[in-house]
Structure formats: C-alpha cells, structure tokens
Structure 1
Amino acid sequence: MATTKQPTVIGRGLGGELRVLREGRKMSLKEVADLLGWQASKISRMETGKQGIRPADVASLLVIYRVIGRDRDRLVKVGRTFR
C-alpha cells in the first residue's frame, strides 16, 4: 500500500505564499499550468505542501508572478529547504 506524503510546515508555508501570489495576480491554477506546461494538479499539490517544490519550480512560478529582488531570493531559498 502506498503512503501519502503529509504536508510539512515549510511546505504549507511556501505553498501558501505561492498561492497568495497567484491569487494576487488573479490567475487560475489552469492559467499558470498552461504557461509552464504543467498540470494544474501539480501546482495545487505544491500550494498545499503535498508535493516537494524544487527551487527551479519556485523560480519558474516567481517569473509568472513577477516577483523579483529580496522576495524572490527568500522564496527560492525556502524552496531549497523543502524538497
């Protein structure tokens, strides 16, 4: 029987921040997924902390959400912690 990965505090925190950024841009999961060539479910799992987020994935999302500077650096660093 397969085990389900439980969300972590770091994952939920990072995912929540990414969700707030996406919603702040008034973008749906599908819109972001289409731009990146991903499945909307992948972004949903990342936002809920149920899937690890690679720093490269965080960086890709931040490009779409137009996040730069210190905020970008901080979020990518958190992404390195949560894999």
Structure 2
Amino acid sequence: MTAAPWFVYMVRTAGGQLYTGISTDPIRRLRQHNGELSGGAKALRGKGPLQLVYQKPMADRATASKAEYQLKQLSKAAKEQQIGEQ
C-alpha cells in the first residue's frame, strides 16, 4: 500500500494574508478552513472566502513539514514569488 502524498500549501484570505500548511488533501483542507467541513484552523476563522493559491507535492510528512517551515520564514513578497512560479 502506497502512502498518500503530502503537500505544502498556501491559502489566501479575503484580506490578502497568506496561510501556510501541510496536508495529504489540500482541497479537503481548504473546505475545512472555509467552514464547509469541521476541523479548520482557528487563525482563518472569519477571514474568508479563502482561496488555495499554492500546493506542492512532497515525498513524505517530514519533508512537507520542513518545506512548510521554510515557506513560513519567507517574506510575503518571496511567498508571492513562489506562488507566481507555480
């Protein structure tokens, strides 16, 4: 049995902020963040509508977590560049 791939993703809030996270299913995670399903991040409540603007597959959870950390260290301008390069 093959493990589900992990993704690092970024969501843009209605106010233009970027939220970075990891998931095996970024679309499901976006639905959770938007309140369609339970389990969304408290940091995103009331900041919708949310838009999935970046997702990149990773080999495993550890790699995804490292990529998430690296993305979170970037400036907003650098994150926007990453989004534009996708």
**Radius of gyration: which is bigger?**
2
Question: Taking structure 1 as the reference length, what is the TM-score of the superposition?
Answer: 0.30
TM-score between the two structures when normalised by the length of structure 2: 0.29
- Indicate the structure with greater helix content: 1
